[in-house]
Amino acid sequence: MERTPEQCQMNYHGVDYIFYRRGRGTELGRKQRNRKRAEEERRNEGSSTTEEVVGEEGQGEEQSAGRMEAAMDLMRRMPPGSAETALNALLSLLPDHSLDLLSQVDLPLQVRMDKESLKEYILCEYNRDADSYRSPWSNKYEPPLEDGTLPCQEMRNLEIEANEVFSVYRDQYYEGGISSVYIWEDEDNGFIACFLIKKDGQGKRGYMQIGSWDAIHVIQVGPEEEGAAHYCLNSTVMLSLTTDNKQSGTFNLSGSIRRQMSMTLAVADGHLVNMGKMIEEMEGKLRNSLDQVYFGKTREMVCTLRPPPEVLNMRLPDS
Q: What is the CATH number of the domain that holds 199?
A: 3.90.1150.210
Same domain, 234 and 101: no
Report if residue 257 sits inside a domain.
yes
Alpha-carbon span 180 to 112, nearest angstrom: 11
Taking only the tens of pLDDT, the chain with its 319 residues reads 334 344 444 444 444 444 333 333 333 344 444 444 555 555 555 544 444 444 556 666 788 888 999 999 998 888 888 888 999 999 999 998 988 888 788 888 999 999 999 999 999 988 999 899 999 999 999 999 988 999 999 999 999 999 999 999 999 999 999 999 999 999 888 999 999 999 987 655 555 667 899 999 999 999 999 999 999 999 999 988 887 777 767 778 888 889 999 999 999 989 999 999 999 999 999 998 888 877 778 778 877 887 766 655 544 455 4
Q: State residue 6's pLDDT score.
A: 42
Report if residue 217 sits inside a domain.
yes
Residues listed for the chain: 319
Q: Which of 69, 84, 105 corresponds to the end of one domain?
A: 105
Spatial contact of 105 and 160, defined as CB atoms under 8 Å apart: no
Could you tell me the residue range of the domain that residue 168 belongs to? 152-305
Same domain, 66 and 197: no
Report if residue 137 sits inside a domain.
no
Report if residue 196 sits inside a domain.
yes
Q: Could you tell me how far CA 69 lies from the centroid of its own chain? A: 18
Q: State residue 150's pLDDT score.
A: 94
* CA distances, 86 to each of 17, 79, 111, 264, 278 (Å): 18, 10, 21, 38, 32
Same domain, 224 and 289: yes
Per DSSP, the residues of 207-233 read TEEEEEEEEEEEEEEPPPBTTEEEEEE
Q: State residue 228's pLDDT score.
A: 96
Report if residue 317 sits inside a domain.
no
Alpha-carbon span 211 to 243, nearest angstrom: 9
Same domain, 157 and 100: no
Same domain, 15 and 100: yes
Report if residue 75 sits inside a domain.
yes
Alpha-carbon span 17 to 35, nearest angstrom: 17
Same domain, 101 and 157: no
Q: State residue 57's pLDDT score.
A: 60
Q: State residue 5's pLDDT score.
A: 41
Amino acid at 116: E
Q: State residue 303's pLDDT score.
A: 79
Spatial contact of 123 and 112, defined as CB atoms under 8 Å apart: yes
Q: State residue 135's pLDDT score.
A: 97
Same domain, 97 and 166: no
Q: Which of 50, 76, 105 corresponds to the end of one domain?
A: 105
Same domain, 159 and 294: yes
Q: State residue 208's pLDDT score.
A: 61
Alpha-carbon span 26 to 165, nearest angstrom: 29
Q: What is the DSSP letter of 80?
A: H
Report if residue 203 sits inside a domain.
yes
Same domain, 170 and 265: yes
Q: State residue 295's pLDDT score.
A: 78
Amino acid at 139: N
Split into its structural domains, the chain has a count of 2
Q: State residue 110's pLDDT score.
A: 94
Report if residue 144 sits inside a domain.
no
Burial class (CB in 10 A: 0-12, 13-18, 19+), 294: middle
Coil, strand, or helix at residue 124?
A: coil
* CA distances, 147 to each of 3, 68, 249 (Å): 11, 33, 53
Contacts 24+ apart (CB under 8 A), 101-108: 101/71, 102/12, 102/28, 104/72, 105/72, 105/75, 106/216, 106/236, 106/238, 106/256, 107/80, 107/83, 108/80, 108/81, 108/83, 108/84, 108/212, 108/214, 108/238, 108/240
Cis amide bond preceding 308, omega within 30? no
Alpha-carbon span 74 to 19, nearest angstrom: 26
3-state DSSP of 230-262: EEEEEEEEEEEEEEEECCCEEEEEEEEEEEEEE
Same domain, 178 and 65: no
Spatial contact of 195 and 279, defined as CB atoms under 8 Å apart: yes
Same domain, 190 and 92: no
Q: Which of 49, 84, 105 corresponds to the end of one domain?
A: 105
Same domain, 188 and 300: yes
